[in-house]
Amino acid sequence: MLEPKVWQLTAGSVVVGLSLAAGAVAAAGPWDSGQRKAERDWAVAQSRTGGAHHDASAPGAPVPAPSAAGVLPALTTRAAAPVDLSADLEKKLGPLMDDDQLGRTRTASVVDAVTGKRLYGKAADKPMTPASTVKIATMVAALSALGPDHRIATTVVATPKGRTLTLVGGGDATLGRKGLRALADDTARALRDRGLTTVKVGYDISRYTGPREHPIGPNDNIAPVVPLMVEQGRLDKTRNGPAPREKDPARGAADAFTGLLRDRGIRVSAAPAAGKAPKGAKPLARTYSRPLSSLVEQALTESDNDIAESLARQTAIAAHEPASFEGAGRAVTAQLDKLRLPLAGTRFADGSGLNRKDRASAGLLTALLARAAAPAHPELRPVLTGLPIAGFSGTLRSRYADEAPAAGLVRAKTGTLTGVNTLAGTVVDRRGRLLAFAFMGGSTSEPGAAQAALDRLSAALVPETAPQDPKAAPRKH
């Protein structure tokens, strides 16, 4: 997905947008003044490991990272507004759904996120190609299976004599050069403690099975799906969006790691070789990803395909399924079934939404968002807090320029493939009620026009003024 061009707001519209956003945040609960909380709390992940024979149960292991802060308490504790908005929404959304720019097939669902009651629907249970909105399902499944504190390890193991090292990929698609340098520091220190200065290095990517290439083939939107990579195998300096990728990112990571060891005075006797870690090898050093809560937010905000595929496979591993496209699809489906979500006609052919064989309904997308808002599932809250903010962040940064009331108030995941345009997210109505929505268009002919039509639909849910407490007394003029 191309990095959107940042559009400029006038000073006045910025003030208005931020004021409205503040109102929505206040209604929605303590979001650290609108900041995304899990990323502020991820510092615990900096407490990385080091030293010989370290394992997850050792005293030096990092403590669990804090989950995303609870959100939406004001909404979830407030009684649902008694007024039925169905007729009002039909009047507002019906004509907008008739827009030909949405393509030949159009579906929609709007629900009260607290009660789960559907307030508006148009073929809401019809499965369609969801594109990247399928990431919402992937993230709900991962958080449900693993918990928001889960972190993914990249490990160096050594044979008993310490002369052969293996870099073992655990599936961290966010491993960067900083983390790899830290791992090399710890490894070199542990080797020197053993009196070793010469080693052989291998790398192990056996944690995943099945095809490494996504079915779409080599593509700037995703690296080969392997459990070991650095900077997502990017060949440029970008941090998100499309970029040329290494054909073998695991080998690239192993080469970079051996280079770092040499920089630290460790002689590596041969080029790194692929293969499973030898039997009897023990952990020597380890580095961890940020907490899953933070990874989920990043994946949703930036529509990161590499993280999405990684978390789908983490879900498969937790479910004792093969860590492959097929195994991940079964695991995600089973996890969502445990949450009693409407899965008729659903198919998860991948975790990112790049596969056109994915199927999900607008009703499922709103049910997922409602479940993430449920008081009984605080572990799912990062799904809501990770949604891009209209006009301000992620894949919505350059959208809603013509829908000023919605800027700062709509939070939504985008979905875009050729001929497919979708949008699913949340908005707070004038009564302080959280609405979850999903609008899906198929066989669209012009992506920009389709996106604008989706933006108009979601903007129609936004109140013209900041949400008001329904119990508040009317102002006297």
Catalytic residues: 132, 135, 303
CA 391/CA 345 separation, integer angstroms: 33
| 236 in Cβ contact with 223 (< 8 Å) | no
Q: H or E segment at 166?
A: strand 164-168
Could you count the other beta carbons within 10 Å of the beta carbon of residue 312?
A: 30
CA 241/CA 303 separation, integer angstroms: 8
Amino acid code (one letter) for 68: A
How far lies 437's CA from each of 46, 151, 380, 440, 455, in Å?
37, 31, 17, 10, 12
33 three-state secondary structure: coil
CA 385/CA 8 separation, integer angstroms: 24
Distance of CA 72 to the CA centre of its chain: 20
Q: What is the CA radius of gyration of the chain?
A: 23
Tell me the two tokens of residue 144.
Answer: 């449900």
Compute the Cα dihedral for 95, 97, 99, 100 and give only its sign.
negative
How far lies 369's CA from each of 141, 251, 270, 475, in Å?
12, 38, 51, 34
Please give, one letter per residue, the 3-state secondary structure of 64-129.
CCCCCCCCCHHHHHCCCCCCCCHHHHHHHHHHHHCCHHHCCEEEEEEEECCCCCEEEEECCCCCEC
| 416 in Cβ contact with 132 (< 8 Å) | yes
Dihedrals phi, psi of 88, to nearest 5 degrees: -65, -40
| 435 in Cβ contact with 461 (< 8 Å) | yes
Residue with tokens 């293969």: 275
Strands (E) located in 419-458: 420-428, 434-442
Residue with tokens 């720019």: 101
